[in-house]
C-alpha cells in the first residue's frame, strides 16, 4: 500500500518538476526582429536604412484611397478634378476641407512614421558601444537625418509648426504640443547640414539608390528659401551645380533614344530614369520595378490613373502603349496650363511631353486613324491633355491598377529653379534670369531677361519644367502664393479658397487622441 502511495507521489513530482522548469514561461521573440536585437551592428543598421527608404517610398505610391495623390495638385493652379474618386474633393472645394478630411491625416501619419524610423536609426547609431567606425556611424546618421529632415520639411511646409520628435517613442505618449516653425526649421537645417557634411557624393554611395550629398544640398536649399535665407540657399545650389556630379539632359539617350521623342521626354521613360540608365540629371530617384520583390510598396501607385486621361472610354479607342496605358483621368490640367503657359517652341510642350491630340486607334472602328473631334464633355477626363511623365504600359497588366515607374524625386533642373528663386529673393534678377535660361536653353525656349523675373514667373517656369513631378501644393504653400494663384488660375477652387487654406488643418483624430495636451488647430479650421 505504502509503495503505491509512494509511486503516486513520485509520479506527481516528476510531472510537476518537469513542468516547473523556470524558463517554461519565458518568451523569446523568434518571429520578428526588434530594434534591440537588430540595430546593434552595421548589418542591422543597413537593413534599417533599407526599411527607412521603403517607408519613404510609401509617400506617393500607395493605392488607397485612390484619389489621394490629387490633393497636391487639385485646388492649386495646375489641375482641377476630372473623374474624381472623392477623397480629393475637399481640396478643390475648400468649403468642405476640414480636419477630418482623410488626405489631411494620411500624409501626416506617413511623415511621422518615417520620422520614427529615422529616430530609431539615429538613436541606436549614436550608441557608442556599437562596433562602428566614426565614418560608418556618421554615414548612417547622415542618411537617417536626411530623411527625417525630408519628412519634417513636408510637415512644416503644409501644416506649419508641428510636434518635434527626435527620439523613438518607447511608451505611449499623449501630450504632444506643436513646436514653432522656427524650431522645426532649426532641426531640419541641423539635420541637413550634418547630411551635407557626411553623405557621400553620388559617385561614391554604397549602392546606387542610397541617398547622396547632392540630394541633401538640394533639399537644404529649398528649406533655406522657405526660411528666408536666400543667400545660404544660393550657396547650396551653386555648390551642387558646381560639383559636376550631375548635369542636365540635353541629348537623346536610353531605351527609346531612336524612337521619336526629345531629350526631355527621354528622362521619364521606364528604363531611363535612374543614373545608371543614363539619367545624370537625377539627384534622387525612388525606385520601382514591375514584378520584382520590393519593386513597389504595394503595386498600387496611382500616378498614371490620376494623370493620364481615360481616352479608351471613347468608342473607337483602345488602351495603347503609345498613349500611356490605362489612366482614368482623375485630374486634368487647368486651362491656364494647357492654353496659356507654354510657348509653342518649348520642348517641354512637345507632343512627347504633353499629349493633346487623339486619333481613333481601334482598327475595327470606321474612323480608324482619324483625329477625334471631342464632343462636349469628352474633354472633362476622357480626351483632356495630359503630361506624359506618368505614361506606362505593361502588356501583361493592361488594367494597370498600379504604375511601376521610378519617381525622380529631385533633379538638377529643379536645382536651377531653386537657385533662381534664391537669387530673385536677393533681387539678383540678372543672375536669376541666367539660371532660368539654362533650363530654357535645354528646352529650346526663348531666353528671358532680368526684367521678366518675378516670383510668379519663377512659379510659372516651375510648372513648365516640373508639371507632374513637383508637389505643387507644397511649392505654393512654401512661397505663400497658394491663395492668390488659385484665385487667379483655378476656376474650380477660386470661389471657395480662403486665406487660412494656405496651411492644412491638423488632423482631428490626432487632436482627439492627444488627450493630455492641446494640439492647436490652424486658424480657420474647426
Number of residues that bind another protein (CB under 8 A): 119
Q: Is 494 in the site for another protein (CB under 8 A)?
A: no
Q: Is 133 in the site for another protein (CB under 8 A)?
A: no
Considering all CA atoms of the chain, what is the largest pairwise distance in Å, rounded to the nearest integer?
114
Q: Is 344 in the site for another protein (CB under 8 A)?
A: no
Closest-CA residue to 168 (of 116, 211, 226, 241): 116
Contact pick of 76, 120, 272, 388 for another protein (by CB under 8 A):
120
Contact pick of 72, 108, 140, 152 for another protein (by CB under 8 A):
108
User: By CB under 8 A, what part of segment 38-77 binds another protein?
Assistant: 38-39, 44, 47-55, 57-58, 62
Applying CB under 8 A, the span of 219-227, 370-378, 410-418, 478-486 interacting with another protein comes to 370-378
Nearer to another protein, 436 or 493 (CB): 493
Contact pick of 73, 76, 117, 501 for another protein (by CB under 8 A):
117
Residue 382 · residue 295 · CB < 8 Å: no
Nearer to another protein, 207 or 344 (CB): 207
Q: How far is the CB of 195 from another protein (least distance, A)?
A: 19
Q: How far is the CB of 162 from another protein (least distance, A)?
A: 8
Task: Provide the grid cell at 301.
Answer: 501607385
Q: Is 373 in the site for another protein (CB under 8 A)?
A: no
Contact pick of 104, 115, 333, 502 for another protein (by CB under 8 A):
115
Distances (CA, A) of 303 to 282, 292, 469: 19, 19, 10
CA distance 91 to 505: 12
Q: Is 135 in the site for another protein (CB under 8 A)?
A: no
Q: Is 20 in the site for another protein (CB under 8 A)?
A: yes
User: By CB under 8 A, what part of segment 223-262 binds another protein?
Assistant: none
Q: Is 209 in the site for another protein (CB under 8 A)?
A: yes
Contact pick of 74, 76, 79, 119 for another protein (by CB under 8 A):
119
CA distance 253 to 269: 10
User: By CB under 8 A, what part of segment 393-422 binds another protein?
Assistant: 396-399
Closest-CA residue to 386 (of 320, 323, 344): 323
Task: Provide the grid cell at 158.
Answer: 503644409
Contact pick of 197, 251, 259, 513 for another protein (by CB under 8 A):
513
Nearer to another protein, 34 or 133 (CB): 34
CA distance 29 to 47: 18
Nearer to another protein, 230 or 400 (CB): 400
The pairing of beta strand 331-333 with beta strand 79-81? antiparallel
Question: Using CB under 8 A as the criterion, what x/- string covers residues 79-98 for binding another protein?
Answer: -----xxx--xx--x-xx-x
Phi, psi of 504 (to 5 degrees): -85, 155
Element (H, E) at 197: helix 181-198
Burial class (CB in 10 A: 0-12, 13-18, 19+), 509: middle
Within 10 angstroms of residue 76's Cβ, the number of other Cβ atoms is 28
Contact pick of 41, 100, 359, 523 for another protein (by CB under 8 A):
100
Within 10 angstroms of residue 193's Cβ, the number of other Cβ atoms is 16
DSSP state letters, 83-142 = S--STTGGGTSGGG--TT-HHHHHHHHHHHHHHHHHHHHHHHHT-TTS---HHHHHHHHH
Nearer to another protein, 134 or 516 (CB): 516
DSSP state letters, 317-338 = ----TTTTS----SEEE-HIII
Question: Bridge-partner residues for 407, per DSSP?
Answer: 286
Closest-CA residue to 80 (of 458, 472, 397): 472
Q: Is 496 in the site for another protein (CB under 8 A)?
A: yes
User: By CB under 8 A, what part of segment 412-471 binds another protein?
Assistant: none
User: By CB under 8 A, what part of segment 145-204 binds another protein?
Assistant: 162-163, 165, 168-174, 176
Q: How far is the CB of 35 from another protein (least distance, A)?
A: 6
Q: Is 220 in the site for another protein (CB under 8 A)?
A: no
Distances (CA, A) of 233 to 136, 189, 240, 390, 459: 28, 11, 11, 30, 17
Q: How far is the CB of 372 from another protein (least distance, A)?
A: 14
User: By CB under 8 A, what part of segment 278-337 binds another protein?
Assistant: 287-289, 291-295, 297-298, 312-313, 315, 318-319, 326
Nearer to another protein, 342 or 404 (CB): 404
Amino acid at each position: 500500500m505504502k509503495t503505491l502511495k509512494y509511486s503516486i507521489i513520485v509520479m506527481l513530482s516528476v510531472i510537476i518538476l518537469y513542468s516547473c522548469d523556470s524558463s517554461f514561461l519565458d518568451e523569446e521573440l523568434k518571429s520578428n526582429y526588434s530594434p534591440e536585437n537588430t540595430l546593434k551592428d552595421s548589418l542591422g543598421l543597413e537593413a534599417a536604412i533599407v526599411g527607412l527608404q521603403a517607408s519613404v517610398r510609401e509617400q506617393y505610391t500607395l493605392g488607397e484611397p485612390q484619389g489621394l495623390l490629387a490633393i497636391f495638385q487639385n485646388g492649386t493652379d495646375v489641375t482641377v478634378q476630372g473623374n474624381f474618386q472623392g477623397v480629393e474633393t475637399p481640396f478643390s472645394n475648400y468649403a468642405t476641407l476640414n480636419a477630418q478630411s482623410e488626405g489631411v491625416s494620411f500624409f501626416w501619419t506617413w511623415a511621422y512614421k518615417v520620422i520614427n524610423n529615422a529616430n530609431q536609426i539615429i538613436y541606436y547609431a549614436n550608441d557608442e558601444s556599437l562596433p562602428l567606425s566614426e565614418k560608418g556611424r556618421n554615414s548612417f546618421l547622415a542618411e537617417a537625418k536626411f530623411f527625417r529632415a525630408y519628412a519634417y520639411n513636408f510637415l512644416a511646409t503644409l501644416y506649419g509648426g508641428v510636434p518635434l520628435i527626435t527620439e523613438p517613442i518607447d511608451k505611449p505618449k499623449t501630450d504632444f504640443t506643436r513646436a514653432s516653425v522656427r524650431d522645426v526649421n532649426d532641426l531640419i537645417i541641423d539635420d541637413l547640414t550634418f547630411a551635407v557634411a557626411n553623405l557621400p557624393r553620388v559617385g561614391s554611395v554604397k549602392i546606387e539608390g542610397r541617398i547622396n550629398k547632392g540630394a541633401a544640398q538640394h533639399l537644404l536649399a529649398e528649406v533655406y528659401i522657405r526660411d528666408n535665407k536666400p543667400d545660404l540657399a544660393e550657396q547650396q545650389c551653386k555648390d551642387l551645380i558646381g560639383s559636376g556630379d550631375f548635369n542636365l539632359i540635353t541629348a537623346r539617350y536610353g531605351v527609346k533614344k531612336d524612337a521619336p521623342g526629345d531629350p526631355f521626354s527621354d528622362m521619364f521613360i521606364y528604363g531611363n530614369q535612374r543614373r545608371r540608365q543614363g539619367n545624370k540629371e537625377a539627384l534622387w530617384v525612388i525606385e520601382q520595378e514591375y514584378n520584382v520583390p520590393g519593386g513597389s510598396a504595394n503595386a498600387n501607385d496611382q500616378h498614371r490613373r490620376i494623370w493620364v486621361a481615360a481616352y479608351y472610354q471613347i468608342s473607337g479607342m483602345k488602351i495603347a502603349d503609345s498613349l500611356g496605358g490605362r489612366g482614368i483621368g482623375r485630374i486634368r490640367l487647368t486651362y491656364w496650363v494647357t492654353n496659356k503657359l507654354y510657348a509653342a517652341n518649348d520642348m517641354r510642350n512637345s507632343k512627347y511631353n504633353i499629349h493633346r491630340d487623339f486619333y481613333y486607334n481601334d482598327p475595327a472602328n470606321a474612323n480608324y486613324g482619324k483625329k477625334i473631334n471631342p464632343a462636349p464633355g469628352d474633354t472633362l477626363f476622357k480626351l483632356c491633355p495630359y503630361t506624359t511623365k506618368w505614361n506606362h504600359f505593361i502588356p501583361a497588366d493592361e488594367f494597370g491598377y498600379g504604375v511601376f515607374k521610378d519617381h525622380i524625386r529631385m533633379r538638377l533642373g529643379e536645382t536651377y529653379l531653386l537657385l533662381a528663386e534664391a537669387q530673385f529673393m536677393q533681387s539678383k534678377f540678372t543672375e536669376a534670369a541666367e539660371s532660368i535660361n539654362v533650363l530654357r536653353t535645354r528646352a529650346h525656349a526663348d531666353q528671358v531677361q532680368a526684367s521678366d523675373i518675378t516670383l510668379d514667373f519663377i512659379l510659372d517656369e516651375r510648372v513648365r519644367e516640373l508639371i507632374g513631378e513637383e508637389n505643387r501644393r507644397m511649392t505654393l504653400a512654401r512661397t505663400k502664393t497658394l491663395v492668390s494663384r488659385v484665385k487667379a488660375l483655378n476656376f474650380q477652387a477660386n470661389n471657395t479658397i480662403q486665406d487660412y487654406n494656405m496651411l492644412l488643418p491638423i488632423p482631428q483624430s490626432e487632436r482627439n487622441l492627444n488627450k493630455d495636451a492641446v494640439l492647436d488647430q490652424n486658424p480657420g479650421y474647426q
